[in-house]
Structure 1
Amino acid sequence: MQQDGLILELQNGNERAFQRIYELYSESVYGIIYSILNDEAIAQEILQDVFLKIWNNSSSYNSDKGRFFTWILNIARNASIDHIRSKSHKNSKKNLAADNFVDILESRSNFSAKADAIGIKKYIDILKPVCKKLIDLLFFKGYTQKETAEELEMPLGTVKTRNRACINKLREMLAE
């Protein structure tokens, strides 16, 4: 079955189509979620939540607005970031032993592996260093634009403008 037909069947409530979509995309989606959360159990939980959202909101997907895989990745990314910003996640991190912080810092800075996990590493490597840093903070670490501005010690407006320019450059490269 072609992808468009599969998506249409999903939107019509076909459970087999949903199962096939899960088979096709779950591994990649899990990779994205895990690269953001760095916790297998929570990543599995979020993965299930993401596919529930896909099932429940499939009618909101519109091919004119972007590719299906991009739509799924956005759901996964947003769910992961929502979890990071949740009160329960923040409370659980308060109780970590000091020796865990080294691992967290090392994994959070492993930008190259995260970019490679979604297949855009070769494109990101071409970008300017400021773009790499912005994409890392905003998309892989879940920072808000305000938090990114504070981290990089630059005005919020500059972060917004540079982010837009970096994403547009990435889009141009991906379209080629």
Structure 2
Amino acid sequence: MFMNDEELYQRLLNGDKEALEALYDKYEKLLFSMAYRTCQQNEMAEEAVQELFLKLWTRRAKYDSTKGKFSSWLLTVMRYTAIDLLKKKENQNYTLEDNKDYDEYEPSTEDLLEWKERGEMLRKAVQTLSNEQASIVNLFYFKGLTQREIADHLNLSLGTVKGRIRLALKHLKKELGQLKEKGGLGDVT
């Protein structure tokens, strides 16, 4: 019996370990990839993925279906989890030694193709933003700065940064929707 993400999440909230396993199996590679891009270390990316699923299991991260898709929410939680872990490790002056026995993560050809297609569409959509919006989106989503750090870095008010991010995301969602209609972009919104 096929269950969508929200059904699995509800089962997880009721203590269903199989639902947790199903979500892990479905999203582990994608989440690891995002964590790795942030942390740049296999061990830390693995730790971030484990931390995320621990948050789900212990209900420290709560999904609200009225605010967006489960997959988008999960990726957002992963991003913040990885950033928090990276900052925590940096504050402890913690360095990981390279482990030569560790198998490098190898995404499948299908994953690589899908990520490439989505990346191209996202780059096209970001190019339609104003320079200010594109700069803030880059700092927030790709450099991992907080809204407060962006405000300080660009000498803007926090409200201005929040507003520009909100407008940029609204614009990107519209643009990605149009690109999806034109070119068959997968499920990115």
For Structure 1 versus Structure 2, the TM-score category normalised by the shorter chain is 0.7 to 0.9
Match of 2:7 in 1: 5
Structure 2 equivalent of residue 15 of structure 1: 17
Q: Deviations over 1:83-136 (max 9, x none)?
A: 2332x3134279xxxxxxxxxxxxxxxxxx8x839x744432433333222112
- Offset at residue 139 of structure 1 (A): 2.0
CA–CA distance in 1 between the matches of 2:48 and 2:58?
Answer: 15
> Residues 145 and 160 of structure 1 are in contact (CA less than 8 Å); yes or no, is this contact kept in structure 2?
yes
Q: CA deviation at 1:18?
A: 1.2
Q: Is the 8 A contact 1:11 1:58 kept in 2?
A: no
Give the CA deviation at 1:31: 1.3
* Paired residues for 1:89-168 under 5 Å: 89-92=90-93, 116=119, 120-152=122-154, 154-156=155-157, 157-168=159-170
2:51 is matched with: 49
Percent pairwise identity: 29
What is the deviation of 1:148? 1.8
* CA shift for structure 1 position 72: 0.9
Aligned 8 A contact 1:10 1:58 in 2: no
Q: Does the C-alpha gap of structure 1 residues 7 and 91 become closer, same or farther in structure 2, counting only changes over 3 Å?
A: closer
The answer (yes or no) to whether the contact 1:149–1:159 under 8 Å persists in 2 is yes
Q: Please report the RMSD computed on the Cα atoms of aligned residues, expressed in angstroms.
A: 2.9
In terms of fraction of residues, the more helix-rich structure is 1
Secondary structure of the residue that 1:92 maps to in structure 2? coil
The answer for unaligned runs of 5 or more in structure 2 is: 96-115, 179-189
State the structure with bigger RCO (CA 8 A, min sep 6), 1 or 2: 1
SS, match of residue 59 in structure 2: helix
Separation in structure 2 between the aligned mates of residue 126 and residue 79 of structure 1, nearest angstrom: 29
| TM-score (normalizing by structure 1) | 0.72
**Unaligned runs of at least 5 residues, structure 1:** 95-112
When normalised by structure 2's length, the TM-score is 0.68
Moved beyond 6 Å, runs of 4+: none
Measured against aligned partners, the alpha-carbon deviations of 1:132-154 in whole angstroms (never above 9, x if no partner) come to 221121122221233223433x4
How many residues end up aligned between the 2 structures?
154
Give the aligned partner of residue 97 of structure 1. Answer: none
Distance 1:141 1:29 in 2: 17
TM-fit CA distance, 1:66: 1.4
> Is 2:32–2:45's contact at 8 Å kept on the other side of the alignment?
yes
